[in-house]
């Protein structure tokens, strides 16, 4: 007999888990189809609105001790080009906040979401993967790789970049790959980071140091694929020396922690964010380079928005996977996803280009940001929360 629920979420990354938790916590019968979490050594800089959502859902308290406040962000032009931008520093205090957000280890965030979801009577976890998805008029049926089926009015596709569910809907995706790879790891250092996140802009991409609690930081080093391969093969001592060199020793002596993640950079955007009883969230809907800490913050807004619509429909006794609901979800997410994707793309391409006028424009833009305080404040506000269409959870309101 197939298992019947109101909503099935496929994919147990942070976006899928947040959607499943938000719906189950509000009493919507929700099944999460997810394999055991893969080791993920990345950290995520979560903006204030994401923290508000996680707090409202009761998950933040379970990982707060693994997170460091981000109070200052600094951009340093580390290129050797003719036109170099001046250093720009953004202080959260300038827009009346104690911090822009918090940087947390992904594995701790996922563990916190899982533990909180397990407390909800309406939540069921199915430790398996989706093999085939059948989309009908009145619902979706997910066939599990280990046998058995789950039927639901709505399927939330959170199964990542190569989503099985997205393929089943026929939604196309626009992809672009970059000649860049991100090496991600965490490290210890001898000088305090003082809750400052530093982004060195280099000709191959950003080299970003993001604080973790104590004398620890996360590193995202974007370089060309050959350099990434060379760096990732270095032994710990040689890699530590290289990080110290590239960071101009601002954090003192470096000791790298064991795991290293390698992520080829790409941009991918689905042409629609919902169709035929399926709503796409997180990297199933959009992938972008890890610049400006936008990817998962955007994914959490997807999760918050679909949950808001589903909970309202559930309380009204309506169909939680109706065409009208999916159309509203698609419309609600368009502007936010398009604007973030474009901004990250332009910033990345402006770093890679050898075209002098574009370098000049980028330098001028950063110069203006450094000089004109209202412009800097407007960018800071928009960077951490979109001005339009913020889901309720992001405003700290329970569903």
CB of 23 to ligand FAD, least distance (A): 15
CB of 295 to ligand FAD, least distance (A): 3
What residues line the site for ligand FAD (CB under 6 A)?
A: 10-16, 33-35, 38, 42, 44-45, 129-130, 158-160, 164, 182, 184, 220, 263, 282-283, 290, 293-297, 299
Residue 156 or 313 with smaller CB distance to ligand FAD: 156
Taking phi first (over 0 means left), then psi (-120 to 50 degrees means alpha), and beta for anything else, what does residue 248 get? left
Q: Give the integer Cα–Cα distance in Å for 272 and 377.
A: 32
How many residues are listed for the chain in this entry?
399
Q: Output phi, psi for 348, to 5 deg.
A: -65, -45
3-state SS assignment for residue 342: helix
Residue 27 or 389 with smaller CB distance to ligand FAD: 389
CB of 199 to ligand FAD, least distance (A): 11
Residue 45 or 332 with smaller CB distance to ligand FAD: 45
CB of 343 to ligand FAD, least distance (A): 13
Residue 71 or 359 with smaller CB distance to ligand FAD: 71
CB of 83 to ligand FAD, least distance (A): 28
Residue 118 or 368 with smaller CB distance to ligand FAD: 118
- DSSP one-letter code for 136: -
CB of 317 to ligand FAD, least distance (A): 30
CB of 318 to ligand FAD, least distance (A): 27
Residue 129 buriedness (CB in 10 A; 0-12 / 13-18 / 19+): middle
Residue 123 or 363 with smaller CB distance to ligand FAD: 123
CB of 110 to ligand FAD, least distance (A): 8
Neighbours of 35 (CB within 10 A): 15
Residue 363 or 386 with smaller CB distance to ligand FAD: 386
What's the Cα-to-Cα distance from 264 to each of 217, 221, 261, rounded to whole Å? 22, 11, 10
Q: Give the integer Cα–Cα distance in Å for 55 and 57.
A: 5
Q: What b/e string do you get for 276-313 counting C-beta neighbours within 10 Å, with b at 16 or more?
A: bbbbbbbbbbbbbbbbbbbbbbbbbbbbbbbbbbbbeb
Q: State the DSSP H helix or E strand holding residue 242, giving kind and residue range, or none if neither.
A: helix 236-246
User: Which residues are within 8 A (CB) of 221 and not within 5 positions of it... i.e. 6 or more apart?
Assistant: 182, 183, 184, 207, 208, 228, 231, 243, 246
Pairing, β 205-212 against β 88-91: unpaired
Residue 67 or 310 with smaller CB distance to ligand FAD: 67
Residue 263 or 349 with smaller CB distance to ligand FAD: 263
CB of 191 to ligand FAD, least distance (A): 22
């Amino acid at each position: 007999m197939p298992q019947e629920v109101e909503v099935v979420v496929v994919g147990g990354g942070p976006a899928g888990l947040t959607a499943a938790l938000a719906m189950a916590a509000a009493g919507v019968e929700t099944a999460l189809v997810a394999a055991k979490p893969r080791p993920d050594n990345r950290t995520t800089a979560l903006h204030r609105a994401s923290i508000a959502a996680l707090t409202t859902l009761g998950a933040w308290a379970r990982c707060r001790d693994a997170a460091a406040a981000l109070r200052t962000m600094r951009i340093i032009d580390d290129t050797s080009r003719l036109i170099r931008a001046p250093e720009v520093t953004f202080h959260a205090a300038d827009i009346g906040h104690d911090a822009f957000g918090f940087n947390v280890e992904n594995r701790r965030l996922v563990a916190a979401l899982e533990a909180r979801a397990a407390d909800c009577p309406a939540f069921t976890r199915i430790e398996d993967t989706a093999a085939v998805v059948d989309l009908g008029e009145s619902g979706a049926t997910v066939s599990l790789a280990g046998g058995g089926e789950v039927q639901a009015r709505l399927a939330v596709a959170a199964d990542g970049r190569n989503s099985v569910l997205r393929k089943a809907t026929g939604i196309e995706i626009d992809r672009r790959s970059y000649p860049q790879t991100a090496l991600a790891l965490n490290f210890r250092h001898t000088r305090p980071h003082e809750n400052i996140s530093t982004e060195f802009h280099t000709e191959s991409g950003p080299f970003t140091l993001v604080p973790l609690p104590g004398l620890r930081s996360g590193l995202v080093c974007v370089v060309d694929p050959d350099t990434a391969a060379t760096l990732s093969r270095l032994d710990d001592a040689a890699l530590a020396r290289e990080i110290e060199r590239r960071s101009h020793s601002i954090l003192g002596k470096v000791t790298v922690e064991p795991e290293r993640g390698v992520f080829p950079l790409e941009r991918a955007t689905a042409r629609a964010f919902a169709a035929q009883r399926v709503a796409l969230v997180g990297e199933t809907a959009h992938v972008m380079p890890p610049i400006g800490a936008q990817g998962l913050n955007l994914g959490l807004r997807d999760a918050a928005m679909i949950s808001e619509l589903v909970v309202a429909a559930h309380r009204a006794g309506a169909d939680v996977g109706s065409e009208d609901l999916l159309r509203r979800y698609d419309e609600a997410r368009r502007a936010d996803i398009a604007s973030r994707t474009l901004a990250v793309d332009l910033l990345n391409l402006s770093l890679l280009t050898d075209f002098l006028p574009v370098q000049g424009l980028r330098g001028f833009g950063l110069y203006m940001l450094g000089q004109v305080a209202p412009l800097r404040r407007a960018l800071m506000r928009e960077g951490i929360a979109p001005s339009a269409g913020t889901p309720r959870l992001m405003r700290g309101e329970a569903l």
